[in-house]
C-alpha cells in the first residue's frame, strides 16, 4: 500500500505539523505568496520560507511566477506541485459507477462516468465494486505509485470515522473501509454520497465564497449535505443529512428504511417512478410507453429523458414533487438560514420543471426575513458532483493516519 511518506525524514512533530499546515493552506486556498501564508498561519516569513524551500526539495510545492502587485517588488507565488500526489474518487449510483482521478492541486486528470454496475447489498456486488476500482487504478499507469487515498461514496447511513456502512455492504464484522483497503492495497475511506456531492460543489462548483450551504440531492432517494462555516457537518455518528426520512406524510407507503410516511415516499425519484407506473397502469398517456420496451424496467434516466421531451405526465409529476419538496426545504431554510441552497441529483436534470415549483413553494412556506438572503441555485457540477466530491474528500484526508 502507498503510505503517507511525505515527511519520513522529519523527526520533529512540530516541523511536520507546520508542513502539513502549509500544504493544507494551499489545498484550501490555491496558490499564494509566502507573506500571505505567514499571515494566515501566524508564523514569521523566514520560518515559512524555510519550510516552503524544504517542501520544494520534496517536489511537493513549486513556483508559479510572480504576483502582479501595484509598485515595488512582485512577490513569488507558490502552490502545490500537481504531479506529486493523486487521489481516486468512486461514486456509486443505483445502476452505474462514476470514477475519477484527481491531482494534488484538485484538477481532474481522468473521469469515467456511467460504468455499468449492479448496486445491491450482496457480497457479489461488493466484489464487482472492488474489481471495477482495481481496473480503474491499474489503468492510471505511472501515476498509480503516487495514489495516496481512495474514497468511495455510498448512500444511506455511513460513518466515515469508523469506516462502517450500515445501509449497504454491512455483512462483515470488519469495517467496509478496511475490507476495501485490504482488497485494493490502497488506503480507502468511505462517505455518504450526498455529503460528498455537497463538498464537491463547495470546493469546485457553484459555491463562490459562501460558507453555509445546504445541498439537496434528489435522486432515487432524497438526502442533504450540510456545510457549516466551510466545513462538512457530519453529526455525532456521521449520519447527518437523512432528510428523506423525515416523518411527513400520513400514508401507508413503506419506505426502504422500514418506516411509513417518510418524505422520500412522496418527494424523490423513487416516488416519481412509482407514481408514473401507477398512472400508466390506469391508462394515462405518456411517451414512455413508446420509448421503453418493458415498462417494468423503467429507469429514472428514462423519466428525465421524457421530461426533456416535454412529456405532459412526467412534467406534471415532477412539478408536484418539486412543490412538495420545496415546502420542506423551506423548513430547512427557517432552521439554518443558509447562504446557499443547491439543488442537485439526477432529478435536478429536469431543470426549470423542478426548480420553479421548488422556488415557488419555498417562497410561500418559509419566513421572508429568513429566506431573503438564501439563494436557491441548481448544481453546477450536475452528475459529476459526486465523483469530484469523492476525490476532494480523499485529498482532504491526506494527513489522517
Residue-wise pLDDT tens digits, 288-309: 999 998 998 899 999 999 999 9
Q: Could you tell me if 333 and 371 are in contact, meaning their C-beta atoms sit under 8 angstroms apart?
A: yes
| CB-based contacts of 183, cutoff 8 Å, min separation 6 | 130, 134
- H or E segment at 331? helix 312-336
Place of cell 441529483: 345
Question: pTM score, two decimals?
Answer: 0.93
Instruction: Provide DSSP, 30-88.
Output: -SEEHHHHHHHHT--HHHHHHHHHHHHHTTSEEEEEE---SSS--PEEEEE-GGG-EEE
Phi/psi at 233 (5° precision):
-95, 120
Q: SS3 of 100, please?
A: strand
Find the angle CA(301)-CA(243)-CA(398) to the nearest 5 degrees: 85
What is the rounded distance in angstroms from the CA atom of residue 377 to the CA atom of residue 113?
Answer: 24
CATH topology of domain 85-198+386-396: Nucleotidyltransferase; domain 5 (3.30.420)
CATH top-level class for 208-379? alpha beta
Which residue ranges does the chain devote to CATH 1.10.10.10?
13-81
| CB-based contacts of 317, cutoff 8 Å, min separation 6 | 272, 275, 276, 279
- H or E segment at 92? strand 86-92
Place of cell 436557491: 376
- H or E segment at 179? helix 176-184
| CB-based contacts of 295, cutoff 8 Å, min separation 6 | 277, 280, 288, 289
What is the rounded distance in angstroms from the CA atom of residue 187 to the CA atom of residue 196?
Answer: 18
What is the rounded distance in angstroms from the CA atom of residue 44 to the CA atom of residue 393?
Answer: 30
Which residue ranges does the chain devote to CATH 3.30.420.40?
85-198+386-396, 208-379
Q: Could you tell me if 110 and 138 are in contact, meaning their C-beta atoms sit under 8 angstroms apart?
A: no
Pick among 1.10.10.10, 3.40.50.300, 1.10.3720.10, 3.30.460.30: CATH of 13-81: 1.10.10.10
Give the residue from 167, 188, 315 showing the smallest Cα distance to 241. 167
In tens digits, the chain (401 residues) has pLDDT values of 444 556 666 778 899 999 999 999 999 999 999 999 999 999 999 999 999 999 999 999 999 998 877 766 789 999 999 999 999 999 999 889 999 999 999 999 999 999 999 888 899 999 999 999 999 999 999 999 999 999 999 999 999 999 999 988 998 789 999 999 999 999 999 999 999 999 999 999 999 999 999 999 999 999 999 999 999 999 998 999 999 999 999 999 999 888 999 999 999 999 999 999 999 999 999 999 999 989 988 999 999 999 999 999 999 999 999 999 999 999 999 999 999 999 999 999 999 999 999 999 999 999 888 888 899 999 999 999 999 999 999 999 998 76
Cell numbers for 42, please give them: 501566524
Amino acid at each position: 500500500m502507498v503510505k503517507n511518506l511525505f515527511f519520513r525524514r522529519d523527526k520533529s512533530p512540530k516541523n511536520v505539523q507546520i508542513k502539513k499546515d502549509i500544504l493544507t493552506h494551499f489545498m484550501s486556498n490555491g496558490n499564494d505568496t509566502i507573506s500571505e501564508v505567514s499571515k494566515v498561519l501566524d508564523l514569521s516569513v523566514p520560518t515559512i520560507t524555510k519550510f516552503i524551500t524544504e517542501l520544494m526539495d520534496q517536489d511537493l510545492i513549486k513556483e508559479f511566477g510572480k504576483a502582479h502587485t501595484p509598485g515595488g517588488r512582485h512577490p513569488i507565488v507558490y502552490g502545490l506541485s500537481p504531479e506529486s500526489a493523486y487521489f481516486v474518487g468512486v461514486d456509486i449510483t443505483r445502476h452505474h459507477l462514476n470514477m475519477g482521478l484527481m491531482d494534488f492541486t484538485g484538477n481532474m486528470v481522468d473521469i469515467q462516468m456511467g460504468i455499468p454496475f449492479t448496486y445491491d447489498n450482496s457480497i457479489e456486488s461488493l466484489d464487482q465494486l472492488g474489481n471495477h476500482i482495481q481496473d480503474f487504478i491499474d489503468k492510471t499507469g505511472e501515476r498509480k505509485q503516487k495514489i495516496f487515498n481512495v474514497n468511495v461514496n455510498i448512500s444511506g447511513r455511513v460513518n466515515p470515522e469508523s469506516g462502517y456502512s450500515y445501509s449497504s455492504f454491512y455483512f462483515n464484522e470488519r469495517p467496509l473501509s478496511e475490507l476495501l483497503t485490504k482488497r485494493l492495497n490502497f488506503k480507502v475511506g468511505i462517505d455518504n454520497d450526498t455529503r460528498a456531492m455537497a463538498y464537491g460543489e463547495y470546493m469546485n462548483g457553484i459555491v463562490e465564497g459562501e460558507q453555509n450551504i445546504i445541498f439537496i440531492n434528489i435522486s432515487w432517494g432524497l438526502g442533504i449535505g450540510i456545510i457549516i462555516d466551510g466545513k462538512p457537518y457530519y453529526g455525532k455518528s456521521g449520519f447527518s443529512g437523512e432528510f428523506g426520512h423525515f416523518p411527513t406524510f400520513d400514508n401507508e407507503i413503506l419506505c426502504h428504511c422500514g418506516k411509513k410516511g417518510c418524505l422520500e415516499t412522496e418527494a424523490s425519484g423513487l416516488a416519481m417512478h412509482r407514481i408514473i407506473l401507477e398512472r400508466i397502469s390506469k391508462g394515462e398517456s405518456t411517451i414512455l410507453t413508446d420509448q421503453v420496451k418493458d415498462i417494468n424496467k423503467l429507469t429514472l434516466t428514462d423519466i428525465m429523458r421524457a421530461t426533456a421531451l416535454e412529456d405532459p405526465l412526467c412534467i406534471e409529476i415532477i412539478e408536484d414533487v418539486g412543490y412538495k419538496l420545496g415546502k420542506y426545504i423551506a423548513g430547512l431554510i427557517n432552521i439554518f438560514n443558509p447562504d446557499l441552497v443547491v439543488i442537485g441529483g439526477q432529478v435536478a436534470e429536469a431543470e426549470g420543471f423542478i426548480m420553479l415549483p421548488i422556488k415557488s413553494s419555498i417562497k410561500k412556506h418559509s419566513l421572508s426575513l429568513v429566506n431573503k438572503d438564501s439563494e436557491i441555485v441548481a448544481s453546477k457540477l450536475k452528475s459529476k458532483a459526486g465523483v469530484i466530491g469523492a476525490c476532494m474528500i480523499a485529498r482532504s484526508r491526506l494527513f489522517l493516519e
